[in-house]
Amino acid sequence: MTARVAVIGGGRSCEHDVSLASAASVADALDPAAYDVVRLSIDRDGSWLDDRGTRLDLADAVAVLAGCDVVLPVVHGPHGEDGTLAALCELAGRPYVGSGVGAGAVAMDKWVTKLVAEAIGIATAPGRLVTAATAPGLAWTGPVVVKPVAAGSSHGVTLVRAPEELAAALDAALALDDRVLVEEVVVGREVDVAVLRRADGSLVASPALEIVVDGLFDLDAKYGGGADLRVPAALDEVDAKALESAALATYAALGCDGVARVDFFLTDAGLVLNEVNTVPGMTEHSQVPRMFAAAGLPYAALLDELVRGALA
């Protein structure tokens, strides 16, 4: 008997197009012998659409979800990844793939994620929380990375090398969020580890993936092909074990479920947590599927683990 799976993409955030690509790829890859896929999307204005582009009001959308066995949300960023869709599924009484309301909300908030990481002994980049009210008084202390607290896909992220660039970088980030992180530049290798809760409840960490890029891994580098993604990353045993342990500890401390990608800098002084993505990019060529494919878990099998885990 096939399970009916609602796959949701799109959303109201600046990651709308990325999310649509992830959702389409996921829906195409789910085994039709095991799953009957129902495709839904959320438009930029927040309205829901069925697979024919017909607009649904929220009540109709919830009715569609209620007719499915499980929901697979692939909506990146605010109004999706931040626990919003998990809450809707909870209220509708439908099992869903991924982290719950609390973990989604906390991991989406880069400032709170830093506080959690530091509480369990994992280093983060020194930084300050800035709002529109405090931004004009921010003093220049050296090169920094400016980023919205709750946005993804590197939208609004700027590497600021000179004092005269700071105001424009703050404006760009504040256009996407009312809180902004201003962090000291961390010099090190960018290395990510994904953590998956398998259908049997066990946790497994993926091989590490290194992002090799000239400069900041920004929006252009991420989607313009300017980054070299190397998986498995070339790491010695000590660094590999430290990254795996930190990824598992961060996943557990945040209360994550499903799959999450934990991003680090590997510096001469050790690892530094950058951020956590509870709804990472999920096309077949995205980082997380590449990482698990390198461990012998192909894309369709990874999706199967996620859906079966939600149904367990």
Q: Which residues are catalytic?
A: 15, 153, 223, 261, 263, 275, 277, 281
Helix axes of 287-294 and 299-311: crossing angle, nearest 10 degrees: 100
Q: Are 265 and 249 in contact (CB under 8 A)?
A: no
C-alpha to C-alpha distances, 272 to 93, 116, 228, 267, nearest whole angstrom: 38, 13, 21, 7
Beta-sheet pairing, 70-73 with 3-10: parallel
Residue 7: closest CA among 128, 257, 21:
21
- Among residues 12, 36, 14, 39, the alpha carbon closest in space to that of 24 is found at 39
The CA angle 252-258-261, to the nearest 5 degrees, is 70
